[in-house]
Chains A and B, each alone.
Chain A
Amino acid sequence: SQTIHQWPATLVQPVGSPLSLECTVEGTSNPNLYWYRQAAGRGLQLLFYSVGIGQISSEVPQNLSASRPQDRQFILSSKKLLLSDSGFYLCAWSLKGADEQYFGPGTRLTVT
């Protein structure tokens, strides 16, 4: 069966510090991978998606970047965090198009 991992689960970082969030998927090959951000109790905002190694599509111009160094690894990064980067970050995978996405447990990021 497939599983998706995210770490860390929670993170408190000062403004201006770098960020690296990691997501890995097990039990499947060549998944589509996604990074979302969610404001408290609200819907999900798509940040990046990837259909293959090294292929990244950005949805929202911002302070963040994404990379996919391996087939089942997706990394979200920032060189300098802003207060507005605080939120709940979710990684997800799917096999066909955007259909039936499966989410990781999320990372709660607080920028102070």
Chain B
Amino acid sequence: TQLLEQSPQFLSIQEGENLTVYCNSSSVFSSLQWYRQEPGEGPVLLVTVVTGGEVKKLKRLTFQFGDARKDSSLHITAAQPGDTGLYLCAGEREDSSYKLIFGSGTRLLVRP
């Protein structure tokens, strides 16, 4: 059972377009993180959100944590080829400390 569902699984867009990636669950998370991974490398932490309704911005990336802390979204404005990669959401469940549950990932390709 996949506790964190990411959509879409794959996204191919033109440079300059906007996009949103979704991460959904029926479970409540005490925190949720987004990572970006390039081929052959380990994931790199982008952001952590901990409060329901929280919005964080990282340059052209906007992250939002759902009010009920069950879902999150990542919005990229004016995508660039350097944004290409695998985006992973991961949540720490309230009833399961020390462990992160990872989503299946969204592979983003930004074409120049």
Chain A residues engaging chain B, CB cutoff 8 angstroms: 32, 36, 41-46, 49, 51, 57, 59, 90, 92, 97-106, 108
Contact = CB atoms under 8 A, between A and B. Distances in A.
B98 A43 contact: no
Nearest to B92: A98
A103 B43 contact: yes
B45 interface: yes
Interface stretch (B12-20, B52-60, B62-70, B101-109): B101-109
A41 B43 contact: no
A49 B92 CA distance: 14
A101 B86 CA distance: 17
Interface in B25-47: 31, 33, 35, 40-45
B88 interface: yes
A106 B42 contact: yes
A100 B40 CA distance: 21
Nearest to A105: B42
10 contacts: A41-B86, A49-B98, A90-B43, A98-B100, A99-B48, A101-B100, A103-B35, A103-B42, A103-B44, A105-B41
Contacts of B41: 105-106
A105 B43 CA distance: 8
A49 B104 contact: no
A100 B33 contact: yes
Contact of B98 (A32, A45, A103): A32
B98 A51 contact: yes
Contacts of A104: 42
Nearest to B2: A43
Contact of B105 (A43, A46, A90, A99): A43
Given A49-B99, A97-B98, 4 more contacts: A43-B102, A101-B90, A105-B42, A108-B40
Contact of B97 (A42, A92, A98, A108): A98
